[in-house]
Amino acid sequence: MVGPGTGVAPFRAFVQERAKAFDEGQEIGKMLLFFGCRKRDEDFLYREEWEEFERKLGDKFEMVKAFSREQKQKVYVQHKMKEYSKEINRLLEEGAYFYICGDAANMARAVNTVLGEIIEQERGLKPGGGDEVVKMLRASNMYSPLSIIDLLHQVLRGRLVVSHETGTSHRIFQAIASHFTV
């Protein structure tokens, strides 16, 4: 999962739901979340909650943080993804899904490019091979770029049903809605 800034909202709901399943004794897979913001002490959304998830879920959840303005050279989520290239590739080979939510104009494109590079490098593919794998992941719905606006539209159109107070769709809607004032 890649969710810098307010793009992390849907993933908060997802991790809440998985933590609940974990509490109930259900087996859950590894979750790797790349989060980025400018400064840890100024705009690290839900910081205490994420730290609690890491403690509670142990090796089932890891949040990789990129704080772009805390050092001379800017560090973004795509830079952190490169550091985790082996694990990203391993998880994808094991059938993991890849979700991204946030700035579609710049960040999502950069993440898409880096994901292709990671797959290409880790699997020893010829140039462009990683991009082809990313296209296949998208075609099989294993790579999903999420837009907060698209999710809200789905809720408003009844495609993402918010019917059960403890359900994932309700939590996603609440997490997204918490970032907007009407």
| 33 Cβ neighbours under 8 A, 6+ residues apart | 1, 2, 3, 8, 11, 15, 50, 61, 62, 63, 64
Q: State pTM to two decimals.
A: 0.81
Fold that domain 5-177 belongs to in CATH: Rossmann fold (3.40.50)
The number of angstroms, rounded, from the C-alpha of 174 to the middle of its chain's C-alpha atoms is 17
* Cα distance between residue 136 and residue 66, in whole Å: 28
- Residue ranges of the domains in the chain? 5-177
Which pLDDT tens digit goes with each residue over 51-71? 999 999 999 999 999 999 989
Which pLDDT tens digit goes with each residue over 99-130? 998 887 788 899 999 999 999 999 999 999 99
Output phi, psi for 32, to 5 deg.
-120, 115
SS3 71: coil
